[in-house]
Structure 1
């Protein structure tokens, strides 16, 4: 019988996947939450997944995106048991291989993954976050709004926020994180957010409440004139995330990751060979016509 002391825990499995991913955080295109404003229908795949309570599918897809920079280079696919262990928590739900298979099937139906059965196992490949194209590294095509992205810090996994938050709370975390990737705060209304992202107003309200209760939300109220209201005034709610999910904290982890990558990939500086004291013959700088061409 194998001792539990030599079996990797769920937390250790998540931490290892973060480590081997190379960057240590999760990169998600904005089109996972909402399509660009040149689209007839703005809500993307997140809204229906929330409405249909496909929480496991959201979690598994986000973990796949996290690990993909490493997985893409592997010959062997990860076993379902590894995914199940990585997404299990003491405070939340346990996953089984059956749960993983069901979530892959749901993601495949939504166009978010592609599965290939090979002799060495089932290879799962992510598709673009709107389910409309093959996956590629975000941000490579400048000026394309379908290539812009936001990030989730490692604490999303290491502190188990992926499971601690309710489904509406998880959705609103993704929405506000995306909206504040390039600005400090965002003004949201329950009905407007519901329309923009394909949620119900109740889900928006419940999600904001969850983030507030968990201490992940900063909220500022602005009173403005409203000539048609009974009181002549109304209020706007401005939101931002706190702690490791704040705009500044997320920008800092990206900066550090880029600096570490630059240090790893910088060419080594070699010392010039020592002079032997012998003079070398003068270099012939004259070129033939063929060489010049």
Structure 2
């Protein structure tokens, strides 16, 4: 049996840019897994296998009535290989499945620099239930994007590279728009939106957060991104300055940008026993509940 030990956390602050505001209603929960683990014989998980679950509330102005309460899960920046424990990844898949979300989003960087872990990506990320949508990240393109696309498609997941899909959830259409990686210059927002519905529930996937600046303004969209690892190694003031100078003003959590919303996932990979240190930015699996804008007053 899986047990959860929950502890309340303060939400991480978004960038101090004056044009950005945190979205109301955010709630985070840190989950420490304990008890018997079917993936390893030890009774307790090692430190390197732990991660955080975050629970987030998103109010969308153009949400279809039938989608009020729709649930989304997001995994990002898994970095399969020596940088990330396979047990951590498999437990993350289990955590997603246990919540039975309506949609599952994977937002890039499944490998790092070496092609050796490529065959393992399909193994460790297999078994996600429901409708799964995938976009690729900069490391994926640098290593072998066609291989990864084929691997995910064999799992029955939908890979979007400057494409969109309309799927029916809870009896109404959801438009999922997947913008390819901006870090490597493969993003094409115009192509992604071409022919897509202009109203209703529209959700955007893009590995790099600054893609949000290219979306149609004041369209009531929400973009799910990763890439930054939540800052990776947090030194108050310094980390934010470095990221802004590198053209990454959106580091972690919620933002309002040009009449749309953005969530930057801290990513599941790196740190906690791997060769890349993380400090002040725990690996994350994010869950979202979508609510109609009319519910803001009730929820606040």
TM-score by length of 1: 0.26
Structure having the higher helix fraction is 1
Structure having the higher strand fraction is 2
Which entry has the higher C-alpha Rg, 1 or 2?
1
State the structure with bigger RCO (CA 8 A, min sep 6), 1 or 2: 2
